[in-house]
Amino acid sequence: MNSSARHAVVVVALLLTTPSTFAQQAYPYQNPEVWATWAQGYRGQGTQINVVDSFSISAGCDVVYGQCHGSWTNTLAKTTAPSATVNLYQQSGLVVGITPNVLNIFNLSYGLYSPIANSAQNSAIVGYAQTGKAVVVKSAGNDYGLAVGDATKTIGFAGKVDVLATNLAGQPSAILAGALAKNGTPSNPASMANYSQVAGASPVVQRNFLVVGVDESAGLPRGTSFAAPIIAGYAAILGSKFTTANATAVTNQLLNTARTDTVVGYNPATYGRGEASISRALAPSSIR
């Protein structure tokens, strides 16, 4: 579930750099396309995923299935792109800088319901998406039946709008991540998960909206929080193949190659660009 904003009280950023040797292992919740991309040994190396989340029970993290919310997003990013460097940053902490000469990817699996100007950390990240300095992947939100940009029904924030989502919509290197109930295929298409917010009528949001499977039956928790790190991992895999591509090009490749034939009754107001497909994103548009 998306955590609420705690940006006003936390003043110390926690940075944990995890080694790039996370075990390469296939998990049942993953799209088999991901396993195929590992076959030649390219799994996100040379890229950096910055997971901004809550990681400490003692600091009051959201606990999901016995683990901090951030442990799940961290695990999903690392299992999708095992060779990427994954840095963990405490949500609402200090500004996270950009590392030069590598593809920077941010994973934001939370919403923000107070003015973005109050959060230096989030303002900086939105700036990176605006200037194309980093791929910024943000969860769409779990208000089922609502679109991105609608006022939330979440207790404690009811009536407020997720300003992080609205500020990222339309930015050149931002992706808003919705959740499908499973990984889709043309012969067995997937529906939107029954908690995920949809893209909505705004063409600006639709342009940046992608979906991926968050398969509960394979052991994943419910939430668009867990769609975002999968897409962040896809961006890392792309960055390890196209080593000179900038964040905007990587973002556009994921958006432009999304599949619309693997979801039930595709329409952009629900699915945005469609289901992210790492195999199509890696492929050329033509070859001779």
Partner 1 sequence: MRNSVKPPIALKPLFRLRRFQIRFIAKILLAIFVWATPIHAAHSFDFVRNTYLIDLSQGSLLSQIMRASQNGSFETSNGAVVNFRDWYSTSWTDARFAMMTQLEPWLGFVWGASTGEYGQKYVIDPSLRVGLVFRGEIDKNSSISFKATTTIGGSLREKSCIADYGEIGGVQKVNCRLAASSLAPADTLQYLYNMSPINTYFFSIEYRLLF
- Which x/- pattern, by CB under 8 A, does the window 104-123 give for partner 1? --------------------
Among 7, 133, 259, 273, binds partner 1 (CB under 8 A): 259
Angle at 143 between CA 133 and CA 145, to 5 degrees: 115
CA atoms within 13 Å, Cβ hemisphere of 132:
9
Q: How near is the Cβ of 216 to partner 1 at its closest, in Å? A: 28
The answer to whether 126 and 136 have CB atoms below 8 angstroms apart is yes
Q: How far apart are CA 198 and CA 214, in angstroms?
A: 15
| CA separation for the pair 200, 213 (Å, rounded) | 19
Q: Which is nearer to partner 1, 140 or 254 (CB)?
A: 254
Task: Please tell me whether residue 192 binds partner 1 under the rule CB under 8 A.
Answer: no
Q: Applying CB under 8 A, which part among 15-23, 164-172, 246-254, 268-276 lies near partner 1?
A: 246-254
For partner 1, the closer of residues 52 and 237 by Cβ is 237
Output 131 or 202, the one with its CB closest to partner 1.
131
Here the tokens at position 271 are 């699915």
DSSP category for residue 142: S
**C-beta of residue 70 within 8 angstroms of C-beta of residue 54:** yes
Q: Judged by CB, which is closer to partner 1: 117, or 288?
A: 288
x/- binding map, residues 206-245, to partner 1, per CB under 8 A?
-------------------------------xx-xxxx-x
Residues 19-78 that bind partner 1 (CB under 8 A): 37-43
Strand partners, 209: 176
- Rounded to whole angstroms, how far apart are CA atoms 99 and 12? 20
Count residues contacting partner 1 (CB under 8 A)? 32
Which residue, 62 or 275, has its beta carbon nearer to partner 1? 275
In the complex, least distance from residue 273 CB atom to partner 1, rounded to whole angstroms: 13
Q: Closer to partner 1 by CB, 201 or 283: give it.
A: 283
Using the rule CB under 8 A, is 155 a contact of partner 1?
no
Nearest distance, CB of residue 173 and partner 1, angstroms: 12
Judged by beta carbon, residue 63 or residue 283, the one nearer partner 1 is 283
Interface with partner 1 by CB under 8 A: which range of 4-12, 57-65, 165-173, 251-259?
A: 251-259
Q: Counting beta carbons within 10 angstroms of the beta carbon of residue 99, is it exposed (0 to 12), middle (13 to 18) or buried (19 or more)?
A: middle
What DSSP state is assigned to residue 262? S
Neighbours of 100 (CB within 10 A): 7
Residues pairing with 107 in the sheet:
51, 137
CA distances from 7 to 13, 89, 180, 188 (A): 11, 12, 29, 41
Q: Report the residue number, 70 or 82, with the smaller CB distance to partner 1.
A: 82
Point out which residues bind partner 1 (CB under 8 A).
37-43, 237-238, 240-243, 245, 249-250, 252-253, 256-257, 259, 261, 279-288
